[in-house]
Chain A
Amino acid sequence: MAETITLDAKTAAAWVGTGTRATTESTAVRWLLIGITALFLGLFLFLPLAVVFATAFQKGLATYFASFNDHDALAAIRLTLLAAGIAVPLNLVFGVSAAWVSAKFEFVGKSLLITLIDLPFSVSPVVSGLIYVLIFGLQGLLGPWLAKHDIKIIFAVPGIVLATIFVTFPFIARELIPLIQAQGNEEEEAALTLGASGWQTFFRVTLPNVKWGLMYGVILCNARAMGEFGAVSVVSGHIRGLTNTMPLHIEILYNEYQFVAAFAVASLLALLALVTLVLKSAVEWKSKQQAAEDEENWSTA
């Protein structure tokens, strides 16, 4: 056909990119696959999400908002924000330095360090919580000493923060290590020869180059920090108004048959998940764009 011949190179490439005849399934198969995917998504993702909001608003807006006007609920929200507010910045510092060290330097035990960073991913959250009970608990390693000095970690806020830090430990480091590794040392070396100090090099060259990856890591880290249940549950002790985070509070409400209140708090977490998802896609798009630019940077060199 004449039209296909006049396609310019770009559209032709896009055309080929969408799949040639040989790799295209028949219409029936295509719709079947799409149908299965849609059904699956609907059943396991959209339906539960809808149920959360539906149950939360079951008895009207007034009841929904009344659920937050409860002392224990507010305390749980505050504690969750506090735990995330401490864990995320700390893991930001840790993640960036771990990535920097493992990408820029060669040293003995480097692969061990990278493996250890992954540990919280592979350990069951319950075990993550128990570790701290075994160390800081009354019967634990440091328990007697802590008790003598009246320092409370387990069944108190510090324990919750510690468990949250441990569980969210890998997110930022994992995101940054391959990124910093791929970018190499040259820009940093250039900055040094131009008279920049180590800190100047880091803040003006290294950090701006990984900012989107870093943002991505922070978003994921934050989502997990706020949503963590298992590890926090072990160290929390479930003291209402004191050591309950939002996920723990939801569980208690649910177990007490306060469905509306439980789902109202749950809807907050679900909302957080949705916001995270949007931010994540935005940042992902942005960092992909940058990656493409970098790619071009080298390929046209």
Chain B
Amino acid sequence: MSIQAVNVTKKFGNFTALESVTLEIPSGELVALLGPSGSGKTTLLRIIAGLEFADSGTVQFDGKDITSRTARERQVGFVFQHYALFRHMTVFENIAFGLRVRPRSARPAEAKIRAKVHQLLKLIQLENLAQRYPSQLSGGQRQRVALARALAVEPSVLLLDEPFGALDAKVRQELRRWLRQLHDEIHITSVFVTHDQEEALELANRVVVMNEGAIEQIGSADDVYNRPATPFVYNFLGNVNLFHGRIDQGKAYIHRQETGHVVYVRPHLLDIDRVPNGGDHFGARIKHINAAGPLVKVEAVTEWGALVHVEMSQERFRYLQLLKNEAVFVSPKDVQVFQAPNGAAFKARGGAS
């Protein structure tokens, strides 16, 4: 089922959580709502679920207006950050809950409920823990039970609020892959909220980047990372160097006294050389080197006293044999320029001091 939110606005007292947000989620996609805390992503998810109601604007499922329907009537699967499992019920009863509370006419027979629950227990690989209580499970197990419980009612959409937020890094990785797999199998339209860019980029078909109650960009992981639409997206996704500059005939000039534009360069799109390589470059002095990890991270101070971060492969680093306090030349391979403070983005090739 596709989801449309049209001009959705929501205020909590004086705080504007969402400002006229419009979003379309095609059927069967796995979409991430990504943003810092307070960006309105959870509010948007809860409005889609019917757990919160918009001050204005509409929500549609498959083009049908469901704005005034309650959470109960919308039949969405919702997974909470802290699982919200029913603590006094066993795993089995938790999963069966959605089937048991149906009106008598729509309620499946006991045997069918059992079959359905066992099928889901198998799916989440917790068949032997059916009679345990939530307090006897690990965080990852609880979240899988919460997911099974949401899927038991065969919802038309699956909404997940920071589903891995409360888990430790390794379990998070595992569950992420598992969710991806699950989505590949059952193709249910899914929306998850996260503040973790890595999680969003890895898991989602489509990433919706949100900031201060508005959508900054919607696109594939490749789009938002490599072709960010706004300075916020550039900043939020990955590390970035920021220079002030101006644009002259399609070329960006960076200098500390310029104010008209802001030039963004990712650390891995900067090259370091001992001698000027013929292209655009500026001088810098190496301040710190961190060679642990797949990339070597170099921190340098530019001629005009600003800090610049450069990332290079271990190979390149070994080849250059860089030392602390060495004077080098830095040349950008690709930059992105935005009108200061916020404005339309345009690409400029190369940079110059």
| Residues of A near any B CB (own CB < 8 A) | 186-187, 189-197, 200, 204-205, 208-209, 293-294, 296-298, 300-301
The docked-state distance in angstroms from the alpha carbon of A25 to that of B166 is 44
Q: Interface stretch among B69-77, B230-238, B250-258?
A: B69-77
Decide if B98 touches A298 in the complex (CB within 8 Å): no
The docked-state distance in angstroms from the alpha carbon of A298 to that of B87 is 11
Decide if B87 touches A196 in the complex (CB within 8 Å): no
Which residues of B lie under 8 Å from residue A186 when comparing CB positions? 80, 82, 84
Cβ-based interface call for B102 (8 A): yes
Q: Which of B71, B97, B134 contacts A297 (CB 8 A)?
A: B134
Size range of the interface on B? 35 or more
Q: Which of A189, A194, A293, A301 contacts B139 (CB 8 A)?
A: A301
The docked-state distance in angstroms from the alpha carbon of A200 to that of B86 is 13
Q: Which of A187, A193, A200, A300 contacts B71 (CB 8 A)?
A: A193
Decide if A194 touches B135 in the complex (CB within 8 Å): no
Which 7 residue pairs of A and B lie closest in terms of their CB atoms, listed nearest first? A194-B98, A186-B84, A196-B101, A193-B78, A190-B84, A208-B88, A192-B71
Q: Which of A195, A294, A297 contacts B72 (CB 8 A)?
A: A195
Decide if B51 touches A193 in the complex (CB within 8 Å): yes
Decide if B150 touches A193 in the complex (CB within 8 Å): yes
Q: Could you write out 6 A-B pairs with CB less than 8 Å apart?
A: A189-B78, A193-B51, A195-B102, A195-B153, A297-B135, A298-B82
Decide if A192 touches B134 in the complex (CB within 8 Å): no
Q: A209-B87, A301-B166 are in contact. List 20 more A-B contacts (CB 8 A).
A: A186-B80, A186-B84, A187-B85, A189-B80, A192-B70, A193-B77, A194-B97, A194-B150, A194-B152, A194-B153, A195-B72, A195-B98, A195-B101, A195-B102, A195-B153, A196-B97, A196-B98, A296-B135, A297-B135, A301-B139
Q: B302 CB to closest chain A CB, in angstroms?
A: 45
The docked-state distance in angstroms from the alpha carbon of A170 to that of B126 is 45
Decide if A293 touches B78 in the complex (CB within 8 Å): no
- Mark each residue of chain B from 46 to 80: 1 if its CB lies under 8 Å from any CB of chain A, else 0: 00011100000000000000000011101111101
The docked-state distance in angstroms from the alpha carbon of A205 to that of B134 is 14
- Mark each residue of chain B from 32 to 49: 1 if its CB lies under 8 Å from any CB of chain A, else 0: 000000000000000001
Cβ-based interface call for B138 (8 A): yes
The docked-state distance in angstroms from the alpha carbon of A209 to that of B82 is 17
Q: Which of B77-124 contact A (CB under 8 A)?
A: 77-78, 80, 82-88, 97-98, 101-102
Cβ-based interface call for B142 (8 A): yes
Q: Which of A200, A208, A297 contacts B101 (CB 8 A)?
A: A200
Chain B residue nearest in CB terms to A194: B98
The docked-state distance in angstroms from the alpha carbon of A204 to that of B82 is 20
Which residues of A lie under 8 Å from residue B70 when comparing CB positions? 192
Decide if A194 touches B101 in the complex (CB within 8 Å): yes
Decide if B71 touches A293 in the complex (CB within 8 Å): no
Which residues of A lie under 8 Å from residue B195 when comparing CB positions? none
Q: B164 CB to closest chain A CB, in angstroms?
A: 12
Cβ-based interface call for B246 (8 A): no
Cβ-based interface call for B281 (8 A): no
Q: A6 CB to closest chain B CB, in angstroms?
A: 30
The docked-state distance in angstroms from the alpha carbon of A187 to that of B89 is 12
Chain A residue nearest in CB terms to B146: A190
Cβ-based interface call for B244 (8 A): no
Q: B319 CB to closest chain A CB, in angstroms?
A: 47
Chain B residue nearest in CB terms to A208: B88
Cβ-based interface call for B149 (8 A): yes
Decide if B135 touches A204 in the complex (CB within 8 Å): no
The docked-state distance in angstroms from the alpha carbon of A187 to that of B139 is 16
Which residues of B lie under 8 Å from residue A296 when comparing CB positions? 135
Which residues of B lie under 8 Å from residue A194 when comparing CB positions? 97-98, 101, 149-150, 152-153
Which residues of B lie under 8 Å from residue A300 when comparing CB positions? 138-139
Chain A residue nearest in CB terms to B149: A194
Chain A residue nearest in CB terms to B138: A300
